[in-house]
Amino acid sequence: MKMIEKYSAEKIKVLEGLEGVRKRPSMYIGSTSGDGLHHLIYEAVDNSVDEALAGYCKKINVSLNKDGSATIEDDGRGIPVDIHPIYKVSAVQVALTKLHAGGKFDKKSYMISGGLHGVGISVVNALSKKFIIEIKREGKIYRQEYSRGDAKTKLKVVGKCDRADTGTKIIFWPDEQIFSTIVFDYKVLETRFREIAFLNAGLRIVLRDEIKNKKEEFLASGGLIEFVKWVNKTKEPLHKPIYFKREMNHTIIEVAIQYNNSYQENIFGFVNTINTVEGGTHVSGFKTALTRVVNDCARKKGMLKNDSILGDDVREGITSIISIKIPDPQFEGQTKTKLGNSEVKGFVDSMVTSALSEFFEENPSIAKKILSKAIDAARARMAAKKAKDLVRRKSVFSLGGLPGKLADCSNKKSDNTELYIVEGESAGGSAKQARNKENQAILPIQGKILNVEKSNPARALSSEEIMNMITAIGAGVGEQFNIEKLRYKKIVIMTDADVDGEHIKTLLLTFFFRFMPKLIENGNVYVALPPLYRVRKKKDYYVYSDEELKKITEKLGTSNVTRFKGLGEMSLQQLWSTTMNPQTRKIKKIFIEDAVEADRTFSMLMGNDVQGRKEFIAENAKEANLDV
């Protein structure tokens, strides 16, 4: 019989200082993988950006160093170095070792900032095996060293500088005890810093990678106007950017709008330069105002009578950046992906209604182009509804209204279930036999689905294959999407490991990104990773890349190598054990790290930007799987 220990006061543990951060790092940085690793740099850079917002910082240097460390240096005021009246150590040490410590709570040092929780730089310190800070202030250079949150030296004066030369420099080495990878990705950082430069006109950010010998400088004097032009670079804009900036109740609201000839909606929200990928009240206020103004203007011009243009119609082909700067933003969670301030919706709604109405009055030709596009989208929507009804009548559905091709699972609760979207009837048949019927559903699709990047939504939503997917998933699309109605916990794309399979996979991901982005944001979309080879020598080894094949054949010597050209070539047992068994399979979760970059990538890969596509292929050819 198991003895139960007495639950007494001594069992209550208190994690002092930064111990809690090291014990539960994901609470503070989202994860301990690549995105969490980059979050360390973002936290340090956000502090420098806050100095820029306060009017003191003009330049930020970020360097990825050969020894695995990262350096962030700014020309702001420098963190205060005097002794803190309560803690009796330097203010620097308080900021680096105490959670919820910082100069952003009383609104005197910083009226507007992105780092509001006071946990950013102390978290970076806690999760670094080595951390060095240097401060230039009042003609002196101060230096202090830490390790895993603990001070290893005292704050010392190590040199002199001109009194006008001020700033903060941080060098940190991520702790391999915490992170699954400690290698920074230059391209991920490049995307973030480009956005920061667009959102802070005149701020210069320099990014260096000493290992790859790369350097890039980001400076956008035109701010949001340059931002929308950059996003629309792979598309055909319909007019010059619309830009306005207003201040209301100490909240600065900036908006840039430019419609293009595509069918996609791209609205990106930022709060104090933080990319709120899940939107929030600022984005809601913008959408409400935009729909109202377009309807009012269309009626005044006699272009619309009894019908109303819906929000989806108004936003077809729009690219818009909404950037607000607010003294007290309420973010949902430390990673700040959604704004919750209820009053902001009204501020943005009021400002956009006033400014956009005024713009339409003064620029009738641009207004007409936007109104015409919205009215065309409304007509296409109504045509799509008729087409969808026709498809539903013609399709052979099983009981319950689900697609006839769907082999559903017996478990009706979504918590544990998976929907495999499988390329081809043959592979679909194999998957149906190999699966766990209790938790795994199979939906075969025939060939390549419609490229929604180049198609009107009306045409896309009248496609039988696309309608089958929407019906099977159950959560709807666009504004009608409801995650609560999702029928499966995981949506798994399973295609052959060849060129056609990769193309189909990209078409499916384009569909999810354009029609069900919240499915990706919620972490429900996955890609199955079937093996490329089977290597046989006494037993079977399954190999997933050419590089892995080279290593294993060198290790095993003479062996029998089989290249799997398609899922249908595997036996049911092989398909189950390598690609479908949750205990042994390899699977990749799809997530959107940056919505702006994701939009540009899909537009370039699946749209009409031939030159951009060629450049992308040339740059990434070495990473591609080619079926030769």
**How, if at all, do strands 242-248 and 274-275 pair?**
unpaired
User: ∠ CA 443-448-452 to the nearest 5 degrees?
Assistant: 100
Q: Which two three-digit tokens encode residue 424? A: 């081809």
CA distance 334 to 329: 12
Taking the C-alpha atoms of residue 253 and residue 522, their distance in angstroms, rounded to an integer, is 28
Question: Which whole-number Å values give the CA distances from 137 to 36, 162, 188, in the listed order?
Answer: 31, 9, 32
Handedness of CA 58, 213, 169, 172 (dihedral sign): positive
**Cα atoms found within 13 Å of the Cα of residue 582, Cβ hemisphere only:** 10
- How big is the CA angle at 135 (ends 131 and 136), to the nearest 5 degrees? 155
Which alpha helices (DSSP H) does 301-424 contain, by range?
A: 311-314, 342-362, 364-394
CB neighbour list of residue 10: distance below 8 Å, 6 or more residues apart:
none
481 to 204, 238, 441, 467, 477: CA distances (angstroms): 40, 29, 21, 14, 5
d(Cα 110, Cα 121) in Å, to the nearest integer? 16
Contacts of 413 (CB under 8 A, 6+ apart): none
Strand-pair partners of 587: 528
Which residues have CB under 8 Å from 160's CB, separation 6+? 139, 140, 141
In the structure encoding, which two tokens stand for residue 537, read together?
């020598």
Tell me the catalytic residues.
423, 496, 498, 500
Which tokens go with 371?
């109104």
Q: Which amino acid is at 81?
A: V
Contacts of 36 (CB under 8 A, 6+ apart): 25, 26, 29, 30, 179
Closest listed residue to residue 591, CA positions, set 282, 179, 277, 232: 277
State the Cα–Cα distance between residues 233 and 119, nearest whole angstrom: 37
